[in-house]
Structure 1
Amino acid sequence: MKVLIVEDDPAIAANLYDYLTSQGYQADLATNGTNGLRLALADTWDAILLDLSLPGMDGLTLCRQLREQAHRDTPVLMLTARDTLDDKLTGFGHGADDYLVKPFSLKEVGARLEAQIKRYRGRVVARQMRFADVLLDVSTLTVARSGRPLRLPPKCLQLLRILMQDPGRVFGRTELETEVWGDALPDSDTLRSHVYSLRRALTADGEEDLIETVHGIGYRLVAPHARAS
């Protein structure tokens, strides 16, 4: 999972970076608001840790631009020394998903991040995931397309679940490999062969292929008849 840290205090930034990477996150760091917004828009993040008092552009402005101009719904956890109710309400009003007052526990940061990412990916309450005519029941790990049950190997099932979390989003090859295989990354052809197997299962009755290969980058789900030329 990828987290962007936007924090100008070197000690706090280093502590957050070291802790999150030790917990298995891929983290990047911006030390001012201008670079923070640039990085936030240049890549796809699972969450953003955002300080409010930043040089260049304050955190409230960054968050508002992220929501209103860029239309990004990435979870934003605001980090600040401002602890009044009005401060918190202002943060939520600018698009924050959660608010943590300094000084904070790194374990609490991790717990809040995990909770926000789960909600963002629909893993908290949702028992079923649906895209087009494909239904995935995450509690029973069963899949059907137009009511036709599919038998998928575990890795293909994981790939489908990841792709269905955010249809239309391009998932990079490295991101998919890390999500499915963890630290035991496969060789270069393993992901491709699993995507091929998943495609075959989904189109076994002549249905339209819902998985698009974005050459040189990765894969995404596309709605029927919406494949790029």
Structure 2
Amino acid sequence: MRILVVEDNAALAANLVDYLESRGHQAEAVGNGRRGLNLAIAEPYEVIVLDLALPGMDGVEVCRRLREAGVATPVIMLTARGELEEKLAGIDSGADDYLVKPVALAELEARARAQVRRVRGELASTQLTVGDLVLDEEAFEVRRGDTPVPLAPADFRLLRTLMRAAPRVVPRQELDRALWGEDVPGSDTLRAHIHRLRCAIDRPFGRDTLRTRHGIGYYLVADGNGSP
């Protein structure tokens, strides 16, 4: 498994990484919530171990923004506090599991494996479809009808976010977060990605699926002439 540990206690983070790597997994740690959010959006982790109390942005906010950005990676929330309210806050933000510190390392690994098995079982039969446009989240493949559509990783994330929301108009700010987290570049960068995505999924097929709602954002339509 490829695992991201977002934990500001350096000793605990190092202990988690060392144990997970000794079990044959790839693990890396960051100690800041904003940095963890950006990495989790940009990289294909299989599990995120997320502390609740973090500098920069707390774990509840990190998890909420991950889900808003269309990141479905399982999140196991860690906290030193065992109150019911804290547990519910984590789950309400989109966390998949919850452990109270001190954490038993073997239990954490077992829960991570269980989350990966669960997600793989769901994704094996799950595809996103808008009209004849199909995105396979597990295989990282896109096709229009029977024609494969190769996409760069950032364009794949952009399309996945739009397809998950379809036919809703997705505001520019939401798409920015899906692509870059909190480190949003200049305003023309999203426009460039949208143009490149249109060239890939629409232009060769003569039917416009990706539409603009001026001043708001972008959306997908199934029949080439509809509106949300």
Q: TM-score, normalised by structure 1?
A: 0.57
Q: Give distance in 2, aligned partners of 1:87 and 1:102.
A: 13
CA deviations 1:145-179 (Å, max 9, x no partner) are xxxxxxxxxxxxxxxxxx97714469xxxxxxxxx
1:44 and 2:44 correspond: yes
Partner of 1:118: 117
Partner of 1:24: 24
Q: Give distance in 1, aligned partners of 2:50 and 2:126.
A: 32
Higher RCO, Cα 8 Å, sep 6+: 2
Q: Is the 8 A contact 2:141 2:150 kept in 1?
A: no
Residue 60 of structure 1 and its aligned partner are, at CA, apart by 0.6
In 2 relative to 1, CA 49–169 (structure 1 residues): closer, same or farther, beyond 3 Å?
farther
Letter in 1 for 2:87: K
CA deviations 1:64-118 (Å, max 9, x no partner) are 11112x1211100001111012211111011110000000110000000000011
1:44-123 counterparts in 2 under 5 A? 44-68=44-68, 70-122=69-121
Partner of 2:159: none
Residue 131 of structure 1 and its aligned partner are, at CA, apart by 6.6
Letter in 1 for 2:91: F
- Note the residue ranges of structure 2 that are not aligned, 5 or more in a row: 129-134, 154-199, 205-228
Q: Is the 8 A contact 1:50 1:76 kept in 2?
A: yes
1:1-229 counterparts in 2 under 5 A? 1-68=1-68, 70-122=69-121, 129=125, 166-168=138-140, 208=146
Q: State the secondary structure of the residue aligned to 1:117.
A: helix
Residue 26 of structure 1 and its aligned partner are, at CA, apart by 1.4
In 2 relative to 1, CA 105–213 (structure 1 residues): closer, same or farther, beyond 3 Å?
same
Letter in 1 for 2:94: G
Q: Give distance in 2, aligned partners of 1:9 and 1:103.
A: 12
In 2 relative to 1, CA 4–167 (structure 1 residues): closer, same or farther, beyond 3 Å?
same
Q: CA RMSD in A?
A: 3.2
- Note the residue ranges of structure 1 that are not aligned, 5 or more in a row: 133-162, 171-206, 217-226
Q: Give distance in 1, aligned partners of 2:54 and 2:99.
A: 16
Q: Give distance in 2, aligned partners of 1:130 and 1:86.
A: 33
Q: Is the 8 A contact 2:3 2:27 kept in 1?
A: yes
Q: Is the 8 A contact 2:4 2:27 kept in 1?
A: yes
In 2 relative to 1, CA 103–122 (structure 1 residues): closer, same or farther, beyond 3 Å?
same
Q: Give distance in 2, aligned partners of 1:92 and 1:130.
A: 23
Q: Is the 8 A contact 2:76 2:95 kept in 1?
A: yes
Q: State the secondary structure of the residue aligned to 1:67.
A: helix
CA deviations 1:177-218 (Å, max 9, x no partner) are xxxxxxxxxxxxxxxxxxxxxxxxxxxxxx9465x66689xx
Letter in 2 for 1:94: S
CA deviations 1:108-138 (Å, max 9, x no partner) are 0000000001111117xx9x84779xxxxxx
